[in-house]
Amino acid sequence: MDPAPSVPIGVKETSTIVILGSSTAQGFGASSPDSSWAKKLEVFMNKKSKSNFVNLAYGGFTTYHVLPSGCTAPEKIQPDTARNITKALSYKPTLVIISLPNNDVANNYTNKEIVENFGKLTHILDSSKIQYIVFSTQPRDFTTLEQRRQITTLNDTLKAVYGYHFNDFLAALSDTDYFIKPEVAYGDAVHINNAGHTIIFNAISKHALLTNSCKCSVSN
């Protein structure tokens, strides 16, 4: 994995930020689009410099949905060519945010294959010299402790792999039994509410790759 850049990322006035993700990144759980972390981030960034935001996130997406076009695996979901990494690159992004918190676990994919899929995505971005931020997992009220713990072990692995590129907020959303904290729960056992979206926004707005880009930080 590349070390932290020694100089700030040069986000130009016409920089483009692309989001790859699933329902939370699309805005589910927020009471309005303006309360979602993605919209909050767009408004925040545009206070300092003009940025084009392209949100390709879609409810139910897994890592398999966003793999490169033509990257197929037997008996697995095929890439969605309208919302995958190949489509993201077509916008010539300055920064790509990857937010795929737990649908892979819900689909009974192993951590090994999930991490391999993340590796395919980030290898393309590294090769294209495009900066990226990988979001942490999010808690989900799975009935089995095994799946709830998988969310945490997957998060630990991704954090170890991506280091500087990782944005970790799992603990702020989880209770001691790996369920969604009641105060941030939307109520469907899957999504987070406005308070949860705000926690994610606060985490991403302070991430070094982003703050170095826009030379600003959020005030609490």
146, part of any domain: yes
pLDDT of residue 73: 81
3, part of any domain: no
Strand partners, 185: 192
In a 13 Å sphere around the CA of 199, the CA atoms on its Cβ side amount to 21
Q: Report d(CA 62, CA 44) in Å as an integer.
A: 27
Question: What is 5-52 written as a DSSP string?
Answer: PSS-----TTEEEEEEE-HHHHTTTSSSGGGSHHHHHHHHHHTTS-EE
Whole-prediction pTM value?
Answer: 0.90
209, part of any domain: yes
pLDDT of residue 193: 98
- Residue span of the structural domain in which 115 resides: 15-214
Per-residue pLDDT of the chain (220 residues; tens, 9 = 90+): 444 443 344 434 568 999 999 999 999 999 999 999 999 999 998 887 788 999 999 999 999 999 999 998 888 899 999 999 999 999 999 999 999 999 999 999 999 999 999 999 999 999 999 999 999 999 999 999 999 999 999 999 999 999 999 999 999 999 999 999 999 999 999 999 999 999 999 999 999 998 665 444 344 4
pLDDT of residue 29: 98
2, part of any domain: no
Closest CA to 4 of 112, 160, 163, 133: 163
121, part of any domain: yes
- Phi, psi for 116 (deg, rounded to 5): -60, -40
1, part of any domain: no
Which DSSP state fits 129?
T
Distances (CA, A) of 58 to 19, 152, 214: 10, 23, 27
pLDDT of residue 92: 95
Domain count, the chain: 1
CATH of the domain at 54: 3.40.50.1110
Q: Report d(CA 63, CA 85) in Å as an integer.
A: 10
In a 13 Å sphere around the CA of 117, the CA atoms on its Cβ side amount to 28
